[in-house]
Amino acid sequence: MKIRRKKYHFNVFNVVMLVILLVYAFSMVFLLCWAFISSFKSKTDFNIYPLEWPKGFHFENYTNIFKDLNVPITVVGVGQRKMYLFELFWNSIVYTVGCTFVDILAKAAVAYVVARYKFRFGKFLYSMNLVIMILPIIGALPSELRMMRLLGFYDNVFALMLMKGSYTGMNFMIFHATFASIEKDYTEAATIDGASHVAIMFKIIFPMAKQIITILALTSMITYWNDWNVSVTYLPSWPTASYALFVFQNSNLPEIALGGIPYIFCACTVVMLPLLVIFIVFREQLMGEISFGGVKG
């Protein structure tokens, strides 16, 4: 019995794309490693030898960052005080987890209904999302802030989480395509067994699409974690770690002038650390294949 070996054809386009992706990946990894190593340097060492190994490791950069990375806030009835790194991390965690949960749940639920049930309003919701994605909405921020103040939503992190419950965006399109591709035999069998529509959605369809949901949730968490602008626009008394990093980079504090760029790299590394932990924990979900099970007759 002869075993046929699969022939691989040389493709110039695939080789070129592979080289481009490798160069891009190397550039990203190199810059991250360079910034991390440089964070242990002194200002003088970095200015003279920016690309070389540190002459001496300055671990005090990381110990000092816990007191120097802070944001002054005004508390009603108390006055002004400083919010330090642990409080900033807590604010970021609450804001990121809450907004991600509401955002993903709203998009997934609406996409499920539109994809699995045929009704006219579903087509309207789908078309409206396309219109909103294509047409830029400019100048809505003043009216949005005015409405938030009238409703008591301004400077309220939990009210801002509810505002993230919009179904529009690219994630809705991905959820819609995912749910539409799942065979209806699953839902029909569950309906015969007496399962409700809510039970079918949460116990059958969502678990089958858990990898897509996990990937989109992780990417949304990264977006919300890096959203420093929210503390400027919506939550002035709820500063996040990313906002503290923005203030730290653009301030004229003597500590920054003394530490220089390595000290800024140190602050960036500390703020980035939770995202690195998330990537390490969920790397298999982010890098794995996407597949659905089949129905056996």
Question: What confidence tens digit (pLDDT) does each residue in 39-92 have?
Answer: 998 888 888 888 888 888 888 888 888 888 888 887 766 678 888 889 999 999
pTM of the model: 0.84
Task: Give the range among 180-194, 202-216, 219-233 with minimum mean pLDDT.
Answer: 180-194
CB atoms within 10 A of CB 96: 24
Instruction: Extract the tokens encoding 82.
Output: 């400083």
Q: Quick one: how many helices (H) and strands (E) in the chain?
A: 16, 2
pLDDT for residue 33 is more than 80: yes
Quote the CATH superfamily of domain 69-251.
MetI-like (1.10.3720.10)
pLDDT tens per residue, range 143-195:
888 988 998 899 899 999 999 988 888 999 999 999 988 888 878 888 888 88
- How far apart, in whole angstroms, are the C-alpha atoms of residue 106 and residue 209? 15
pLDDT for residue 293 is more than 60: no
Q: Would you state the pLDDT for residue 287?
A: 66
* β-bridge partners, 82: 72
Instruction: Extract the tokens encoding 230.
Output: 């929210």
- Length reported for the chain: 297
The sign one gets for the Cα dihedral 175, 181, 186, 190 is positive
Asked if 196 and 128 touch (Cβ cutoff 8 Å), the reply is no
| pLDDT, greater one: 150 or 290 | 150
| pLDDT, greater one: 157 or 259 | 157
User: Across all residues in the chain, what is the average pLDDT?
Assistant: 85
The whole-number average pLDDT for the span 257-284 is 85
> Comparing C-alpha atoms, which of 8, 218, 209 is closest to residue 112?
209
Asked if 267 and 65 touch (Cβ cutoff 8 Å), the reply is yes
Please report, for the chain, the start and end positions of each structural domain, with discontinuous segments joined by +: 12-64, 69-251
How far is residue 159 from each of residues 13, 103, 148, 163, 265, measured CA to CA in Å?
50, 13, 9, 7, 34
Instruction: Collapse the DSSP code of 135 into the 3-class scheme (helix H, G, I; strand E, B; otherwise coil) and give the result.
Output: coil
Please identify which residue in the block is written with the tokens 């008394």.
Answer: 237
The whole-number average pLDDT for the span 230-236 is 89
Asked if 172 and 107 touch (Cβ cutoff 8 Å), the reply is yes
pLDDT for residue 297 is more than 50: no
Q: What is the dihedral of CA 137, 138, 141, 144, to 10 degrees?
A: -40
What is the enclosing helix (H) or strand (E) of 112?
A: helix 85-116
- How far apart, in whole angstroms, are the C-alpha atoms of residue 222 and residue 105? 17
Instruction: Extract the tokens encoding 276.
Output: 């690195």
Give the whole-number percent of the chain exceeding pLDDT 90. 27
Side-chain-side CA neighbours of residue 99 (13 Å): 23
Instruction: Extract the tokens encoding 49.
Output: 């030898």
Give the pLDDT band of residue 292 (cuts 50, 70, 90).
low
pLDDT tens per residue, range 43-56:
888 888 888 888 88
Q: Would you state the pLDDT for residue 296?
A: 42
For residue 197, how far is the Cα from the chain centroid?
A: 30
Give the whole-number percent of the chain exceeding pLDDT 70. 91
Q: Would you state the pLDDT for residue 99?
A: 94
